[in-house]
A and B are shown apart, each in its own frame.
Chain A
Amino acid sequence: MTEVKTTSVEVRLPSRLGYEKVAMSTAAAVAKLMGFKEERVEDLKTAVAEACINAIEHGNLLNEALSVGVVLSTVDDTLEVKVIDDGKGLKALPPKPDIDRKIHGEEDPRGMGMFLIQALVDEAEWVKGSNGRSSYVRLVIRLDKETE
């Protein structure tokens, strides 16, 4: 039987913008230990940062009494990151941003975060918490043995 190695690292962040960089650094350190290439580490850093910013701003509404949980779990060659806040979760995923509409003032210039998350990791899902709390986004990035 093949042994499955699992590891878990947890970080709690204050709901204050800027602290997403702590989660970025932690995720980068774990990914490097797993052997991810620099390019994928950078992808992960941006995805984790955007997930934390969403949790701080929209989940916890910048309430510094609340914290954002970041749980990094590794199973073999897969890194899963859960970013947990105290919000109710997403009602629906926003539409893909359209740069032409933004430039012509037909769409808010903001709103790139979730698009970047989806584009930069292998899997991303937004899960509503039970009782309207503890919602989370789950990101998965895999070490590609062909190219890593």
Chain B
Amino acid sequence: MQTETKARVDQLTSPAGHAVAVLRFEGDISSTSKDAVLGTYQTLPKATTKIVLLDFTKVDYINSSGIALVIQMLIEASNSAQKVYAFGLSAHFTKVFTMVGITKYAGLFHDQAAALAAL
């Protein structure tokens, strides 16, 4: 019943010259998404990955278990001196992320171009 979460990583460079690891998610983000969310994040080399950008453009459903996975990622990123940003959330999930305080630890952008331009 739950749509499988797919995730892949793209390595980009921002116009300012910073290396950015983009984690692109697709499907639902829920309790079954641990491998896709945390597992994919944990494949990034901590020594060289300093900016992580989460792409939610193709995510339709995020529940509180999925939000908890994002928070777990933010905890690991905080402990590794990484900055996390996100784009592609719907207006509703932008509101939800703001309500729960995620925006305090992960800046949100409308789209990838806006995010890269700011990084």
CB atoms of B92 and A53 under 8 A apart: no
Interface size on A, residues (CB 8 A): 30
**Known contacts A46-B96, A116-B99, A116-B100, A109 near B71 by CB under 8 Å:** yes
CB atoms of B100 and A115 under 8 A apart: yes
A/B pair count, beta carbons within 8 Å: 74
Interface size on B, residues (CB 8 A): 27
Bound complex: CA of A46 vs CA of B60, how far in Å?
Answer: 12
**Known contacts A109-B68, A109-B72, A110-B65, A99 near B99 by CB under 8 Å:** no
Closest-by-CB residue of B relative to A50 is: B64
**Known contacts A103-B71, A110-B64, A16 near B1 by CB under 8 Å:** yes
| Contact of A80 with B by CB under 8 A | no
| Contact of B2 with A by CB under 8 A | yes
In the complex, what residues of A have CB within 8 A of residue B96's CB?
Answer: 46, 116
Contact with A along B44-77 (1 / 0, CB 8 A): 0000000000000000010111011101101100
> A104: shortest Cβ distance to chain B, in Å?
8
B78 contacts which of A42, A98, A103 (Cβ < 8 Å)? A103
> B77: shortest Cβ distance to chain A, in Å?
10
CB atoms of B1 and A21 under 8 A apart: yes
CB atoms of A50 and B63 under 8 A apart: yes
B75 contacts which of A17, A19, A109, A112 (Cβ < 8 Å)? A109
| Contact of A39 with B by CB under 8 A | yes
11 extra interface residue pairs, beta carbon distance < 8 Å, beyond A17-B31, A103-B71, A116-B96: A17-B30, A19-B1, A43-B92, A46-B92, A97-B101, A99-B100, A99-B102, A109-B72, A110-B68, A112-B68, A113-B64
User: What are some 12 contacts across the A-B interface (CB < 8 A)?
Assistant: A16-B1, A21-B1, A46-B96, A53-B65, A99-B101, A99-B102, A103-B74, A103-B78, A109-B72, A110-B68, A116-B64, A116-B96
User: Footprint of A on B, CB under 8 Å?
Assistant: 1-2, 30-32, 61, 63-65, 67-69, 71-72, 74-75, 78, 90-92, 96, 99-102, 104-105
User: Footprint of B on A, CB under 8 Å?
Assistant: 16-22, 39, 42-43, 46, 49-50, 53, 97-100, 102-103, 105, 108-113, 115-116, 119
